[in-house]
Amino acid sequence: MILLILLGVNLAATILLAFIGDRKRAPELNIICSGATFAASVFLALSVYEKGPIISGNGFFFVDAFNVYLAVLTAFVSMTTAIFSRRYMRVERSRGKVGHKGMRFYHAMYQLFIFAMLLALLTNNVGVLWIAMELATLATVLLVSLYRTPAAVEAAWKYFILCGVGIAQALFGTVLLYFAAERIFGEGSKGLLWTNLSAVADRLDPTVLSLAFIFFMVGYGTKVGLVPLHNWLPDAHSEGPTPISAVLSGLLLNVALYALIRVKVLVDGATHSHKAGYIMMVFGLLSILVASFSLLRQKDIKRMFAYSSIEHMGIATFAFGLGGPVATFGGLLHMLVHSLTKTTIFFTVGHASQMHSTQEMSSIEGLIKGNPLVGWGLMFGVVAIAGMPPFGVFTSEFLILTASIKNAPFFTPFFLLGIAVAFAALFRKVMPMAFGKVPDNQKPIRVAYVPVIVHMALILVLGIYLPTFLSQWFHMAVELLVR
Amino acid sequence: MTKDIYPILIESLQVVTVLVASPLLVGWIRVLKCWSQGRSSAGVFQPFRDISKLFIKETVLAENASWIFRATPYIVFGATVMAGAIIPVISVDLPLSATADIIALVALFAIARFFLALAGMDIGTAFGGMGSSREMMVSSLAEPAMLMSIFTVSLVNSSTSLSQMALVLTSNPIVLRPSLAFALLAFVLIALAENGRIPVDNPATHLELTMIHEAMILEYSGRHLALLEWANMMKLFLFAAIGIACFFPWGIALKDNIGMLPAAFILLAFKLALIGVFIVVAETVLAKMRIFRVPEFLGSAFLFATLGMLSYFILE
Amino acid sequence: MNVSFAAQLNSVLAALILLTAFGLLAQRRIYGLLHIFALQGFFLSVSTAVVGYSAGLHHLYISALLTLTLKVIVLPYILYVLIHRLRIHKEVEEVVNIPTTMLIGIALVIYSYHLTAPIRELSDFITRSTLAVALATVMLGLLMMIIRKKAVTQIIGFLALENGLFFAATSATYGMPLVVELGVALDILIAAFIFGIFFFQIRTTFDTLDLKAMEKLKEEE
Amino acid sequence: MLTQSPLELAIAAILILLATAAIAPVLSRRQNLLISFSFITSAVASLIAVFAGYAAVTGGGVESLVLPIGLPDLPFYLRFDPLSGFFVTIVALLGFMVSIYSIGYVKAFVGHRSVTRLVVFYCLFMAGMLLVLLSDDAYFFMVSWELMAVSSYFLVCFEDDQAQNRRAAFLYLLIAHIGAVLILLSFGLMAGFAKGFENFSGYTFSAMRDSHIPEGWAAVAFFMAFFGFAAKAGVVPLHAWLPEAHPVAPSNVSALMSGVMLKTAVYGIIRVGFDLLHSSDWRWGGVVLIFGLVSAVMGILYALLQNDLKRLLAYSSVENIGIILVCVGLAMIFKSFGMGLLASLALMAGLYHCLNHAMFKGLLFMGAGAVLHATHERNMEGMGGLVHKLKWTAPLFLVGCLSISGLPPFNGFVSEWLTFQSFLLSPALPSPLLNLLIPLGAALVALTGALAARCFIKVYGVTFLGHWRGEHDTVVHEAPWPMRIGMLLAAASCLALGIFPTFVIGWLDIIPETLLAAKISTSASASGWLWLTPVAAERASYSAPIIFIGILVIFATVYLVFHSRTTSVRRAPLWDCGFGKITNRMQYNSTSFSMPTRRIYGFLFNIKETVKYGSNQYLPMLNNRILYHLRVRDRLWQMCYQPFSDASFWLARRVGKLQHGRIQIYLLYSFLTLIVLLVFS
């Protein structure tokens, strides 16, 4: 029931907003719908917390500790992003960047995107998971090109093609998975249900599954933004409207990684080896290194943080590849805190670039003086994302690093190098923006305070205090993932 | 009763000896120098006459001199006399000798030098600054060599306390130790540098560009100058005394032995006279070196001291 | 139609699909590409129907019908209309070095065969030998996207790649569950609309559908 | 107050600091009130922490506490033992003085910029330092450590409108962070070998203490921790941030950073080297000793060549940290040979020097702040003659100079003397190689000491003595009372620590006793409080009170003797050698004072001297304008940092080529990735 509300609200909102998305109160409606989704997700989470995993809809939906936490996160961030987008899009609209049609489209697709992600998270069917992932891509493609600038169209095109091709490979992986499952379950949709698959994981054919994993890795890896499949990500994140960049970075990447992890559990069960883990570690490490070095020479502010997302997804992938309770715990936590932190950063970045009417970092200056919330928000966001305590990212990186030096000491120096370079690159660029005098081209705008403050508070709290229920949750998820 | 008075007595005797004998030593060196150059001398008491004349003369202060400039002579004098109260000159049984071992003694001289250099900077002339800079350069180079020399000596005596060193050396049979010989050589070179003697500095000249010590005290006059001159003489005397205590202590009065004191005095005078001869010979034979040759000079002192240390471990 | 005949027929169709995949690689003209693509879809649809018939799986007929509608009629039609409306039918694409491409393609086919060889042993379906062809079609589609320079041809390559996936689904597993099939079809339909919109956007912003115009977003030297 | 345990007191102090930081933004509209309120509360908090630290050392026990926050399976563990107590005392003592000083100092900013940020991060910084010392698990340690780093980073870039300040802060944070990650990895390694890693309990220090780490991994862990902490401590060659960051921070902050923040790194090295890891490999100590020596010598040489007052002081901190590490290294070497007594002597020297350095460096930075406050000038070349104008600052600064130069009876000498004593005992080591090599280290320490004296004569002589060297005579005003009180307290403690070393050593002795199971106070104060005899009275002895009183008495006697007579004192112009009037430009300045150093040790630096002759426009035949330009650069910068930076940017360019812009290339990546993965599976 709750599941239907959870998904239905978004779907209904999509249709509704497709018609009235340009009205004066449409942003509020957007917020309310997202809020309702969030409330539903919290109820769902509570029932999972009390009663354990739920399978419903004839086995179509499956909710356990792992995906429900991501669902709550998705619903929450989509709600705060909707709040942010209210003020942000108002400015964009007043500057003539988007018209009536654009607003309708924007709001509808926003809700559709959230729906797709929630569906991907909550479904039990690996095939439907694929469909939802594709839907999420399709919903955002045209949002990226919303402004119709040459750069936006180019970015959207690349996003569309690369993710399309990537996800097609994931479909091939799904076919192979089904192929392996069919030998046990026979014909029918039973063979694609994750619950069934995981129950018989050790009976699945190892050759087929390792082959399938490679296609999944390349397919969903493209969506996660792992190097060398990442090329769409900086473009798409930098050219779309900032709320979309925020949810792409903060949510979509998580969902893709979620899909990958679900598959990895099956593959590990089938092959009884750590091969999948090693592949993920290599991808993760490569992403960390390439992204961090790329960060050094960025000029565009959103592009820079897009690379930072690649780096952090690399860290999370590395952590899950590493396996073991500590690293997996760290990885789960990292997904959560990265999502919160990166969206905060995008909120402030969005306002900052609106204040200066540019995304060029060299023209942005004096944010703290100009607008303390934006300036300090960006500064602390970067402090957090760079892995400094007392913010949550540090906690997860702490766990991952310590686990990596225990289990994979020879990977650790590269990891360290990546972290250090990324740190240097981010601070080098952010300091001149946050500090200094207010330049002439800076104009005051109305800023969304609530999301930034709420997110920062959450990240801060997560850095020094993990509530018991959250950690219980993570432990439950860890148990699901680590056999 | 004598037990209680003895320490006070010997300490006063020591301080008086240092105060009186140091101008005498300098006088003796000047006399020897005159003789060696075929001049007639003013006698060994001339330094006393110089000092007392300076005491009654008017003191002229530079316009810019601060309280540091005025306090320096007293501090320098105080530190030097304090050192004089610690270094055993006539008897190892010196009550204050435990106040400072040789490292702390070096630091006492460093206080004097520190303030002298500050005073050189205080008046704001080029000469003062030049003197300070050079003086500190020489001392900074001398310091490591000094420490190595001390290290070697302390290896032999397993102590850094001067009284203890002298006691250990005198109470044991005489052994020829190459390590001590090297250490002595190093010590001599350092002492020459520290006291501003040829070949590092020339105490007799006011030739502008070669001055070190004299450049710092150029603006002093009257009683300030007297105190500084006296302190400087004491310093020479005390370095000689340190050398004697470390390397040739034989003849020094031992514990509770008043009877040895006259002999100790005579032997001390003899040793000092010999040192005077040595200094004069050295200053006659050597020429003052260019200021940037000093590092090499002190480098060789360091080398000798290190060789001393090595030869202790390798040969003894 | 007995089972072995169905298998033979399926093999022939597989060979034809492979042939069309190569044809897509070599064809220069846009309309030509469109025709070959429609043909490939047709073969795919027939193959699905044949498998459905021989295995007695009726839901595969729906799949076949879907394929026929989508891949043979709707998508080529949309593309046709777009090409017509955007007046790009005259543009003839320069395809560099077809022989080399063909050689690479052959290598890919061999490689696909090599990869699927261990899996073939597991399957007792009549269609098992066609998995290699499916994989090869996927890879050839990807290859086409890499070597082509126009947005339209890239989309055709993409769709050819999807054909390969479909073929894999039918040949390896007798088709996915229906809900998945329907969902995939829906996605492809949406994708078709989106690239339609894109063509207009690209055309209006860049005045050409040549991908060369879209190489601005990169790291500066 | 006395009923509270030391740990409770320390926590109370930290809570007060955190609360102040939280309240500060509320008061930001009334800046003067904010300054008075927050610095008084932080002074009170520091005072409480001083008591806590003192009591912890005196009590000698171990107290621990588990906080209900942190990770669920890894709550924050707190532990207060004598070692922490000692460092808490140092931090809080200087914190107390600096807080008082700040009341006066920070008010100078009012009207120019908002000081709210300074106040908030100042309190957080203090709290962070105290938390580092109290934490007893890896996670909490790192959190506190980085809290300290981040808050000090914001303090360094307080005056953020200058690009130079931002650059300094950036460099600081970068090196600090890399160091922190190394420390983290070291903890991770130790935790990995401890029991209960999988359920998070291996992260506590007590688990690490009990774990048995193979020798090789232990060495890796130790050296990672050492270099991590060394980056914070500013050990050469990781010191590059220090001379950049300390000068640009507000002076009260530089005093804290230089005086106590660096000590937390020393604390970390001692904690890891003596407490968490148990090794008997003398090479660990050897490496620490060598890095210490290099830092000491290089640090003071760099300091000598500086013209910027605060930069010079920063380099001198590098030197002093070097000396502390020399002692720590010696202690480790002695410990590895089982010579507990000698090890505790060396450790004592190191700890004593920590305390001393905090006091005199704090004093000097506060003094530098007062000079800056008075002249708005950091370059010494533009100062001079301040002794006449700053009647309070000048003598107090002199005390700092005397202490740091290691002159009796001030505190610097005591620790230097103890260091030499432990060096002199090295012949007892059973290793011939070490017997020959360690004395050379002693010689280097002696060289350092002498150069330090030279350096601070330059500082004092050029800044306070002589004539004003600046272009125009600026109005110089003496520092307000709170600043004077802060400096006065520091100066008084410099003197007290110098005169009564036996008490301090007796107080501290519990630390080597807990770490090394040997104590020196039985021998050190065997001859009574007047005499410091670290090993035996025959071996070496020092009596600071007698020297102090002796010099005073002689001084007074001589002074009285001369002033009983009436000899006139006359002021006269300087002797000008018969030429024209001597101008201010003819004085020796900082550059000329350090010229001999440049000549002798020039090969260690990257020095570029240029002399330009400009001609007079009226009399072209006379070259009467000579422009001398000197540039001294850190050669290590080019050797150790430039290549990294260049390589990073080179790699970044390479990596940038991946993002080529052509979609076909991207597809090719995807394709190749697939092929490669398939080949390797």
- Per-residue model confidence (pLDDT) at position C117: 82
Average pLDDT, chain D: 89
C149 with D664: Cβ contact below 8 A:
yes
Q: Which of chain A's residues have a Cβ under 8 Å away from the Cβ of C178? A: 189
- Per-residue model confidence (pLDDT) at position D619: 62
D198 with A169: Cβ contact below 8 A:
no
Rounded Cα distance between C52 and C48, Å, is 6
CB D160 within 8 A of CB A435: yes
**Cα A402 → chain centroid:** 24
Q: In this predicted model, what pLDDT tens digit does every residue of D176-222 receive, in sequence order?
A: 999 999 999 999 999 888 887 777 888 899 888 888 888 889 999 99
Rounded Cα distance between A189 and A178, Å, is 9
Q: Which of chain B's residues have a Cβ under 8 Å away from the Cβ of D593? A: 129, 132-133
DSSP A336-362: HHHHHHHHHHHHHHHHHHHHHT--BGG
CB nearest D667 (choices: C115, C142, C217): C142
Q: Is the residue at A207 inside a domain?
A: no
D573 with B62: Cβ contact below 8 A:
yes
Rounded Cα distance between B276 and B285, Å, is 14
Rounded Cα distance between A74 and D497, Å, is 61
3-state secondary structure of D609: strand
Split into its structural domains, chain D has a count of 2
Q: Is the residue at A60 inside a domain?
A: no
Distances (CA, A) of D143 to A420, D131, D229: 18, 9, 15
CB D235 within 8 A of CB D318: yes
Q: In this predicted model, what pLDDT tens digit does every residue of C13-60 receive, in sequence order?
A: 889 999 999 998 888 888 888 999 999 999 999 988 888 888 777 888
CB D250 within 8 A of CB D308: no
- Per-residue model confidence (pLDDT) at position C94: 64
Split into its structural domains, chain A has a count of 1
Q: Which residue of B has its CA nearest to D412?
A: B107
Residues of chain A short of pLDDT 50, as ranges, are none
Q: Which of chain D's residues have a Cβ under 8 Å away from the Cβ of C111? A: 675, 678
Nearest to C60 by CA among C219, C181, C149, C150: C181
Q: Is the residue at D619 inside a domain?
A: yes
Chosen from D326, D381, D405, D407 to mutate, greatest number of chain B CBs within 10 A: D407
Q: Is D573 exposed, middle or buried (0-12, 13-18, 19+ CB in 10 A)?
A: exposed
Split into its structural domains, chain C has a count of 1
Rounded Cα distance between B44 and C179, Å, is 121
Rounded Cα distance between D77 and D73, Å, is 11
Residues 6+ apart with CB under 8 A from B73: B220, B223, B224, B225, B227, B228, B231
A148 with C119: Cβ contact below 8 A:
no
Q: Is the residue at A483 inside a domain?
A: yes
The 10 Å CB-count burial string (b at 16+, else e) for C173-209 is: bbbbbeebbebbbbbbbbbbebbbebbebbbebbeeb
Distance from CA of D241 to the nearest CA of A (A): 13
Q: Which residue of D has its CA nearest to A406?
A: D192
Q: Is the residue at D626 inside a domain?
A: yes
The token duo for A279 is 């592949």
What does pTM read for this prediction? 0.93
Q: Is the residue at A35 inside a domain?
A: no
Q: Is the residue at C39 inside a domain?
A: yes
Residues 6+ apart with CB under 8 A from D317: D234, D242, D246, D258, D262, D299, D357, D361
D198 with A222: Cβ contact below 8 A:
no
Is the pair D, C in contact (3+ CB pairs within 8 Å)? yes
Confidence bin at B306 (pLDDT 50/70/90):
very high
Q: Is the residue at C218 inside a domain?
A: no
Q: In this predicted model, what pLDDT tens digit does every residue of C92-119 receive, in sequence order?
A: 666 667 888 888 999 999 988 888 887 7
Q: In this predicted model, what pLDDT tens digit does every residue of C157-213 receive, in sequence order?
A: 999 998 888 888 887 777 778 778 888 888 888 888 888 888 888 888 888 878 888
D122 or A203, greater pLDDT: D122
The 10 Å CB-count burial string (b at 16+, else e) for A244-256 is: bbbbbbbbbbbbb
Q: Is A198 exposed, middle or buried (0-12, 13-18, 19+ CB in 10 A)?
A: middle
Distance from CA of A217 to the nearest CA of C (A): 16
Q: Is the minimum CB–CB distance between D526 and chain B shorter than 8 Å?
A: no
Q: Is the residue at C87 inside a domain?
A: yes
3-state secondary structure of C210: strand
Confidence bin at D617 (pLDDT 50/70/90):
low
Distance from CA of A319 to the nearest CA of D (A): 14
Rounded Cα distance between C131 and D499, Å, is 91
Q: Is the minimum CB–CB distance between D33 and chain C shorter than 8 Å?
A: no
B160 with D554: Cβ contact below 8 A:
no
Q: Which of A368-372, B78-82, D487-491 has the lowest mean pLDDT?
A: A368-372
Distance from CA of D173 to the nearest CA of A (A): 9
Residue D52 pLDDT exceeds 80: yes
Q: In this predicted model, what pLDDT tens digit does every residue of D362-382 receive, in sequence order?
A: 999 999 999 998 888 888 888
> What would the mean pLDDT of B272-288 be, rounded to a whole number?
92
D674 with A218: Cβ contact below 8 A:
yes
H-type helices in A225-300, by residue range? 232-239, 242-247, 253-271, 275-295
Residue B72 pLDDT exceeds 60: yes
Is the pair D, B in contact (3+ CB pairs within 8 Å)? yes
- Per-residue model confidence (pLDDT) at position B207: 67
A297 with C220: Cβ contact below 8 A:
yes
Q: Is the residue at D140 inside a domain?
A: no
> What would the mean pLDDT of D53-75 be, rounded to a whole number?
87
User: Which residue, chain included where needed, has tokens 């760290």?
Assistant: A330
- Interface subset of C 66-125, CB within 8 angstroms of A: 115, 118-119, 122-123
Q: Which of C52-56, D242-246, D296-300 has the lowest mean pLDDT?
A: C52-56
CB B215 within 8 A of CB B137: no
Nearest to B82 by CA among B56, B57, B63, B107: B107
3-state secondary structure of A230: coil
Q: Is the residue at D546 inside a domain?
A: no
Q: Is the residue at A341 inside a domain?
A: yes
Distance from CA of D505 to the nearest CA of A (A): 37
CB nearest A211 (choices: C115, C151, C161): C115
Rounded Cα distance between B258 and D238, Å, is 61
The token duo for D430 is 């059973």
Q: Which of chain A's residues have a Cβ under 8 Å away from the Cβ of C173? A: 175, 178-179, 182
- Per-residue model confidence (pLDDT) at position D2: 54
Rounded Cα distance between D249 and C36, Å, is 72
ipTM (interface pTM): 0.90
Average pLDDT, chain C: 84
3-state secondary structure of B210: helix
CB D194 within 8 A of CB D245: no
Rounded Cα distance between C45 and C19, Å, is 16
D550 with B309: Cβ contact below 8 A:
no
The token duo for D404 is 């740091």
Q: Is the minimum CB–CB distance between A186 and chain C shorter than 8 Å?
A: no
CB D357 within 8 A of CB D406: no
Do both D629 and D641 map to the same domain? no
CB D565 within 8 A of CB D559: no
Distance from CA of B24 to the nearest CA of D (A): 21
B129 with D398: Cβ contact below 8 A:
no
Q: Is the minimum CB–CB distance between D413 and chain B shorter than 8 Å?
A: yes
- Per-residue model confidence (pLDDT) at position D144: 94
Q: Is the residue at A365 inside a domain?
A: yes
Q: Is the minimum CB–CB distance between C179 and chain A shorter than 8 Å?
A: yes
Residue D472 pLDDT exceeds 80: no
- Per-residue model confidence (pLDDT) at position D569: 80
Amino acid identity of residue D605, one-letter, is F
CB D119 within 8 A of CB D41: no
CB nearest D671 (choices: C146, C219, C220): C146
Q: Which residue of C has its CA nearest to A157?
A: C198
Residue C88 pLDDT exceeds 80: no
Range of the domain at D641: 637-680
DSSP D413-436: HHHHHHHHHHHHTGGGSS-HHHHH
Q: Is the minimum CB–CB distance between B33 and chain D shorter than 8 Å?
A: no
Range of the domain at C127: 3-213
Q: Is the minimum CB–CB distance between C201 and chain A shorter than 8 Å?
A: yes
Confidence bin at C89 (pLDDT 50/70/90):
low
CB A315 within 8 A of CB A289: no
Residue D106 pLDDT exceeds 80: yes
Distances (CA, A) of D449 to B131, D34, D358: 20, 42, 17
Residue B130 pLDDT exceeds 70: yes
User: Which residue, chain included where needed, has tokens 């002597």?
Assistant: D345
CB nearest B98 (choices: D531, D597, D599): D531
Rounded Cα distance between C91 and C30, Å, is 8
DSSP D75-106: EEEEEE-HHHHHHHHHHHHHHHHHHHHHHHHH
Q: Which residue of A has its CA nearest to D149?
A: A388
Confidence bin at D1 (pLDDT 50/70/90):
very low
3-state secondary structure B61-130: EECCCCHHHHHHHHHHHHHHHHHHCCCCCCECCCHHHHHECHHHHHHHHHHHHHHHHHHHHHCCCHHHHH
Portion of chain D with pLDDT greater than 70, in percent: 97
Beta strands at A54-56 and A61-63: parallel, antiparallel or unpaired: antiparallel
Q: In this predicted model, what pLDDT tens digit does every residue of D377-404 receive, in sequence order?
A: 888 888 888 999 899 999 999 999 999 9
3-state secondary structure of B180: helix
A431 with D649: Cβ contact below 8 A:
no
Q: Which of chain D's residues have a Cβ under 8 Å away from the Cβ of A406? A: 188-189, 191-192, 197
Range of the domain at A379: 336-483
Residue pairs between chains A and D whose CB atoms are closer than 8 Å: 170
- Per-residue model confidence (pLDDT) at position D621: 61
